[in-house]
Amino acid sequence: MAFSSSSPARGSKVPLFSVPFLLFLFAISSVFADDVTQDDNSTPKSPNCNNPFELVKVKNWVNDAEDKTLVGLSARFGALVPLQAKDDLKFPAVLTNPLSGCSSSSSKVSGSIALSIRGECDFTTKAKIAHAGGAAGLLVINDQEELYKMVCSGNDTALNISIPVVMLPKSSGEVLKKSIEAGKKVEILLYSPKRPIVDYSVAILWVMAVGTVACATLWPEITASEQTEERYNELSPKESSSGAAKNDSEKETLDINVKGAIVFVIMASTFLVLLYFFMSSWFIWVLIVMFCIGGVEGMHNVILGLMLRKCKSCERKTLNLPLVGEISVLSFVVLLFCIAIAIFWAVTRRASYSWIGQNILGICLMITVLQVARLPNIKVATVLLCCAFIYDIFWVFISPALFNESVMIAVARGDNSGGESMPMLLRAPRLFDPWGGYNMIGFGDILFPGLLVSFSHRFDKAHKKGGCSGYFPWLLFGYGTGLFLTYLGLYLMDGHGQPALLYLVPCTLGVTLVLGMIRGELKQLWGYGEEPLHRDPSGEA
């Protein structure tokens, strides 16, 4: 990996090592994953079998010492779980005998929370037997880690069960089961606090995403010193848009063409399917290592660019390193600092504060990627974003018909990842949510529209457009609006993961096309940079 010893704003080449990461960053598109369980729309409903499915906190005490609170899922039938812990009482926990809970228990369950395992009979049968035995509630231990939705069977449409019934994942249920089998005194309290309609973490995530797109687009101006601003000044009237494309090409960049856009989305889909079928902890670790390498490079470029803007002479002292070659002392020190940050994040990635380091590394990486990759015109942008639009919708909404679940959500949720989570996401903790968790947005939902917003800024500069007469302010506003609509859709669909590009593409590409048509510049936007260079008789451009 080569690091330049001078600022990108001064004409140095931006390292192209980040370009291969596009294939991995775009593949993990934006997913807002909540607890997604099986659909039961086809199951029978009745007044006694129409409870809302609610997450339930299972507080437990072992020998009077409070243990870790577990999480379960309430059934479609039975009594509703209290909203607050103070509204319920602690009850002793006992195992049913037989453990399946499908026949009258020889254990005394009266006045206790009964624990049974899943299988051998319907959930409603287990609940009826526990209720008849005087149990205060029933916990059913699943045979998998997922929170399965307990619904009524076809013959049980008129139930009279007045105790709460809750499903526990296998690992949580086994903890309680082993404690009881060991003869320990186990007590349980059930309650289900409401999740707020809107959490302020949404605003934090919105600011990070919009700020990343704006910062990446304006990065050349942000890092340019007064002596080097000529490189980014507006072109003279004599210079054509082809001349602008030529000046831009002097920087080391990757232009995306139509064929590359189509091939890329196909590769991204292939990679997503591979993740879905072969997800494992070692696979996630490969992504974590790649993310750290890309994050180090991105953070190095960002910090060095900002420092050299204020102190151009800081790069004069150099040293020679094996494999790297000549590098400035400042660049080397910054590199060591960035490596330390990445290592610290990797070691503490499961800590409650790790989202800060992940977001810093991710934002720096995306800023660097958006300096390297670019869209040459609206024709390529239309192909790329329309393909990404279909890609996002298919893998979130249509893939369940083929795979029995949303592939995109399953990958973002980290199923079969051994507890590891995807690093290619910006995260913000739900600050006022009693259930905790994070709101997330994938790198693809920043990079895809960010490429178009960055193009609009280049086009505005080449044609001396500013303010509302340009395209950049409208597209940045459109991106922010699209992200807002994504969150609105998230809440209107009860937290089901949303394909953010469903909202972002119309609000960015759609805005560009509409403005281009209104202003009569659509043809110019469509073929920007492809016009032949016209020359006058004197031979001058």
Q: Give me the mean pLDDT over the 339-349 stretch.
A: 94
**Confidence at 514, pLDDT banded by 50, 70, 90:** very high
Q: Which of 29-33, 289-293, 377-381 has the lowest mean pLDDT?
A: 29-33
Question: Higher pLDDT residue, 234 or 6?
Answer: 234
Q: Mean pLDDT over residues 364-378, rounded?
A: 90
Tell me: pLDDT of 252 over 70.
Answer: no
Please give the average per-residue pLDDT across 308-327, as a whole number: 76
Confidence check: pLDDT of 413 > 60: yes
Q: Catalytic: 122? A: no
Beta-strand (E) ranges in 276-335?
A: 318-321, 325-328
- What confidence tens digit (pLDDT) does each residue in 462-503 have? 999 888 889 999 999 999 999 999 888 877 776 666 788 899
Higher pLDDT, 307 or 24: 307
**Which among 34, 156, 199, 445 is annotated as catalytic?**
445
* pLDDT for position 155: 59
What's the rounded mean pLDDT across residues 313-322?
75
- Known catalytic membership, residue 445: yes
Q: Which tens digit of pLDDT belongs to each residue from 419-461?
A: 677 788 898 888 888 887 788 888 888 999 999 999 999 999 9
44 pLDDT band (50/70/90 cuts)? very low
Please report which helix (H) or strand (E) contains residue 188, including its range: strand 186-191
**Across 44-52, average pLDDT:** 65
Lowest pLDDT segment from 95-104, 216-225, 401-410, 421-430: 401-410
Average pLDDT value for residue range 318-341 = 84
Q: How far apart are CA 332 and CA 334, in angstroms?
A: 5
Residue 5 in contact with residue 315, Cβ under 8 Å? yes
Question: What is the Cα–Cα distance from 512 to 471, expressed in whole angstroms?
Answer: 7
Name the residue with higher pLDDT: 8 or 331: 331
At 416, is the pLDDT very low, low, confident or very high (cuts 50, 70, 90)?
low
Per-residue confidence band for 324, with pLDDT thresholds at 50, 70 and 90 = low
Least confident residue range of 110-124, 340-354, 377-391: 110-124
Can you give the pLDDT at residue 274?
Answer: 82
Q: Which two tokens stand for residue 413?
A: 């949720």
Q: Which of 31-35, 156-160, 468-472 has the lowest mean pLDDT?
A: 31-35
For 194, the 3-state DSSP assignment is coil
Rounded to an integer, what distance in angstroms lies between the CA atom of residue 255 and that of residue 289? Answer: 27
280: tokens are 């494992």
Is the model more confident about 30 or about 225?
A: 225
pLDDT of residue 453: 96
Mean pLDDT of 76-82: 84
Domains in the chain, ordered, with CATH? 55-191 (3.50.30.30), 200-228+252-527 (no CATH)
Residues 6+ apart with CB under 8 A from 37: 53, 73, 146, 147, 148, 149
Asked whether the beta carbons of 223 and 8 are under 8 A apart, the reply is: yes
Lowest mean pLDDT among 144-148, 165-169, 379-383: 144-148
More confident residue, 287 or 43: 287
- What is the phi/psi pair of residue 204, to 5°? -60, -45
Q: Which of 34, 156, 392, 460 is catalytic?
A: 392
pLDDT at 232: 40
Task: Give the pLDDT score at 98.
Answer: 86
From 27-31, 148-152, 414-418, 466-470, the region with the lowest mean pLDDT: 27-31
Percent of the chain with pLDDT over 90: 22
* Residue 307, pLDDT above cutoff 60: yes
pLDDT at 196: 76
| Cα–Cα distance, 195 to 205 (Å, whole number) | 18
pLDDT over threshold 60, residue 536:
no
Q: pLDDT at residue 509 above 90?
A: yes
Q: Residue 249 pLDDT > 80, yes or no?
A: no
Q: What is the mean pLDDT of the chain?
A: 78
d(CA 372, CA 29) in angstroms, rounded, equals 20
Q: What is the pLDDT of residues 109-145, one digit of tens each?
A: 888 888 888 888 888 888 888 888 888 889 999 888 7
Closest CA to 191 of 48, 65, 91: 91
Q: Higher model confidence: residue 214 or residue 145?
A: 214
pLDDT reported for residue 49: 76
Q: Pick the residue with more confidence: 313 or 211?
A: 211
Average pLDDT, integer, range 311-325: 74
H or E element that contains 17: none
Residues 87-103 have pLDDT tens digits of 667 889 888 888 888 88
Dihedral sign (CA 471, 474, 477, 483): negative
Q: Mean pLDDT across the stretch 515-538?
A: 75
User: What mean pLDDT is predicted for residues 249-270?
Assistant: 76
* pLDDT score recorded for residue 533: 42
